[in-house]
Amino acid sequence: MTAATRFTSMDIVIHLLSRSRISIVLGVVTGIVSGLGSAALIGLINTEVHTTSLDFGYAPWIFGGLGFLVLFTHITSAVIVMHVGQTAARDLRMELSRRIMNAPLCLLQRLGAPRLMANLTEDVSVLVDAFQLIPYMCINISWVLGCLVYLGWLSWNLFILVVVVITLGVVIYRLSAMKAIGPLRAAREQDDALYAHFRGLIQGIKEIKLHRRRQDAFLMDLLYPTAEACRQGNISAMTVFTFAATLGTAILYFLIGIIVFETSTWESITQEIVIGYTLTVLYMMSPLTAVISGLPTLSRASIALGKINHLRKELVDQSEDLNGCTPTVLSTHPGLLEFIEVTHRYKREGDERNFTLGPLNLTLQPSELVFITGGNGSGKSTLGLLLVGLYNPEGGQIRLNNAVICGSNSEYYRQQFSVVFSDFYLFESLLGLVGSDLDERAQTYLTKLQLNHKVKVENGIFSTIELSQGQRKRLALVTAYLEDRPFYVFDEWAADQDPLFKELFYTVILSDLKARGKTVVVITHDDHYFHLADRCIRLEDGLIVEGVPPIRKEQTHTIRHDMGDVSAQEINPL
């Protein structure tokens, strides 16, 4: 039995109690009071219906007081638990988000975006539904218990019969409902695949629309089988739940039949008792049906809680160790960066065995411009991820200014780098950047990169990011410029640029960063510009096989384009 299968409805209550004990206890208590008040009302009504006196005494006042109590406690319970449920959802999403941020990148890549999205959205939403169902369950259960107490007061003989029949119904329902857990779990397992297909639909819509056979294949060979598996699982589970609920209702009607047609002949059972039992059991049917109809939601929530806790365990077990080494203060300026026998293993697409990058011995001098080149699959991008601290070496050491990078200083080490990845993500605002002149500085760089006619910056927010891929990369470069960090890494930045901006990048932007004392690493295939680097490093099958000697050429660093002449001197320091 896996971690995702060990959770029950009680675990949901315990999970909720662990987050807001006082509020949930208050919500449950008020729900119980509401249920007991409802049972007291039916007892009062039944008693007054059979009275022969026209003098009701205090009964109307008691009726009014109970009615007000039931309404007030019902609303209070629902509002309290709704508030707790939404707060728990927020806190759970925040907790998972923090754990995702603290988890190694390689683990997150292995888990996959669809699974993480399903946990953060679907599973948390199911838990919230269960949280908000709890007060109603408490109200209805206490309602039933109150009615049972009243039935016991009317007649212990009939009460034993009622308890036996209801217990039999609960056992039958439980045995039937257990068969629904398997299909529910199977349907939930398909949600991860369904999220992956939805992501493919949204991100690949252009390619899908341009190819009719691809449309049909995507819909019928990928999306439909997964959606159908979800449908079949949910239908199978809900059919079992429906059958069990209907059987439970039938048992209650069977109980009423016994009371009306059989027990009326018992010597100790009066007609008044028979009527009281019949009305009370009929009155109990509504809360019992509500309890039964809520059990599928609790079953789905138990599966969701198991998935969330399983994810939490994976994230915690493999979270980055921040206590492994003695903290070391790192320089805020580019320093000597060394790779000493660094190795890292990973699985390349299409390979059955792990690919090993390294051992790598590499030294980056302060204010150096280094190009990294090599064929596809040689390990260039992985080297870049090791360089910026997003991957941890499995062997060897990374040193910055002779300080070994390990658990205690790995986070601070990562803060030394500004990066534009080949698969970069562009945020809609300049998150984390501050300064009274931030908008002005950003607008300056937008002008230098010919984006000022399309994008404005106001209060640190871009007016739009709906741009071409090349323009989006220039916008990402603006963000990197504004970060003003000691090290800059660019992974195939110029691949999506037209010739003018490609030359601007290599001859102006890189030289400006180097002139301002930055250490710059560029992963590139553009051998036409190798001569601009201080060093060129070539990777082949995960190893540094040679340094490509820069071929010095006479080249102007002034470029002419639609906006006029742009030179290295025109890009002002930060």
Helices (H), 458-506: 469-483, 499-504
- Divide the 574 residues of the chain into consecutive groups of 10 and give the mean pLDDT of each group: 44 57 75 76 71 65 84 81 76 82 84 85 82 74 80 83 83 78 83 84 80 86 89 86 80 81 73 80 81 81 84 77 46 77 80 81 93 89 92 91 85 89 88 87 90 91 90 91 92 88 90 91 91 92 75 45 41 40
Q: Is 461 in a helix, a strand, or coil?
A: strand
Question: Tell me, what's the pLDDT at 489?
Answer: 95
pLDDT attached to residue 455: 92
- Other CB atoms within a 10 A radius of the CB of residue 106 amount to 16
What whole-number distance in Å separates Cα of residue 311 and Cα of residue 563? 52
122 sits in the region (left: phi over 0; alpha: psi -120 to 50; else beta) called alpha
For position 520, what pLDDT does the model report? 95
Strand-pairing partners, residue 400, are 337, 403
pTM of the model as a whole: 0.72
CATH code, residues 337-570: 3.40.50.300
How would you label 256-271 residue by residue, b for 16+ Cβ within 10 Å and e otherwise? beebeeebeeeeebee
**pLDDT of res. 565:** 42
What H or E segment, with its residue span, contains residue 564? strand 564-566
State residue 151's pLDDT score. 82
CA–CA separation, 69 and 23 (whole Å):
19
Instruction: Give pLDDT, residue 559.
Output: 41
pLDDT at 55: 57
CATH superfamily, region 3-317: ABC transporter type 1, transmembrane domain (1.20.1560.10)
**Domains of the chain by residue range:** 3-317, 337-570
Task: Work out the end-to-end distance of the chain between its first and last CA atoms, rounded to an integer number of angstroms.
Answer: 58
Q: How far apart are CA 482 and CA 248, in angstroms?
A: 67
Query: What pLDDT was estimated at residue 351?
Result: 65
Contacts of 77 (CB under 8 A, 6+ apart): 27, 28, 30, 31, 34, 135, 138, 139
Position 510 scores a pLDDT of 93
> Is 43 buried (19+), middle (13-18) or exposed (0-12) by CB count in 10 A?
buried
Given this model, what pLDDT does residue 3 score?
40
Query: In this structure, are residues 250 and 131 in contact, taking their beta carbons and an 8 Å threshold?
Result: no
What is the pLDDT, as a whole number, of residue 323? 47
For residue 70, which of 104, 98, 42, 46 has the smallest C-alpha distance?
Answer: 42
Question: 200-211 burial, b for 16+ CB within 10 Å, e for fewer?
Answer: beeeeeeebeee
Please report the pLDDT score of residue 154 as a whole number.
81
